[in-house]
Chains A and B, each alone.
Chain A
Amino acid sequence: SQKIEQNSEALNIQEGKTATLTCNYTNYSPAYLQWYRQDPGRGPVFLLLIRENEKEKRKERLKVTFDTTLKQSLFHITASQPADSATYLCALGYNFNKFYFGSGTKLNVKP
């Protein structure tokens, strides 16, 4: 099975700074990679998807990069706000029904 590594330690940053979260994987590269946000006591909410043939994807203050050579995806939140505080999960997709999730990184944005 796939092994996915996300930093288990919380990332603490100051409001207004850029937060960068990392998702590393072993073995075979996925067809696409997703990032989700999860708040305490709630289900994950989809944020962005990037396909294996794409290098970068943006949506408002969010940016995702995908490097299949390094087997790594980076997730950036620019101009971070306290409301961005949450746990962020990456998920690797191999077809429509086969997904592997990382354990997530908790982001704390301090005012």
Chain B
Amino acid sequence: NAGVTQTPKFQVLKTGQSMTLQCAQDMNHNSMYWYRQDPGMGLRLIYYSASEGTTDKGEVPNGYNVSRLNKREFSLRLESAAPSQTSVYFCASRPAGAQETQYFGPGTRLLVL
């Protein structure tokens, strides 16, 4: 099993450009999450999907959109990138039921100039 995979690993954007960060998991997990991690701050939840076909806002959703394409894939889209969105983005997944453990991907480093 590859676990949680993210593409790309690193991306540089200019202000105003758009892009989509891809995430896939092969563990048959129901829930998937997008976080951002900034220096000196904890991981902050952007959006999550509790199950295929549903998405909900997290703590910092402004400037982002998400799509739960199927059970495996959960993408994060920046429609018009801003320098404040420079960060490391992590995708995570979690199995259904009473287990609360999240499995994280390796992250995508995004630099917006």
Contact = CB atoms under 8 A, between A and B. Distances in A.
B40 interface: yes
Interface string A26-53: 0000001010000001111110010000
Residue in B33, B35, B48, B100 with the greatest tally of chain A CB atoms within 10 Å: B100
A96 B59 contact: no
Nearest to A99: B45
A43 B105 contact: yes
Given A42-B107, A43-B90, A93 B100 contact: yes
Interface residues of A, number: 24
**Binding site secondary structure of chain A:** strand
Interface residues of B, number: 25
B42 A4 contact: yes
Interface stretch (A13-21, A63-71, A72-80, A100-108): A100-108
Interface of B: 4, 31, 33, 35, 40-45, 48, 50, 56, 59, 90, 92, 94, 100-107
22 contacts: A1-B59, A32-B100, A34-B101, A43-B90, A43-B92, A44-B43, A45-B104, A46-B101, A49-B101, A89-B42, A89-B43, A91-B43, A96-B50, A96-B94, A96-B100, A97-B31, A97-B48, A97-B56, A99-B43, A103-B40, A103-B42, A104-B42
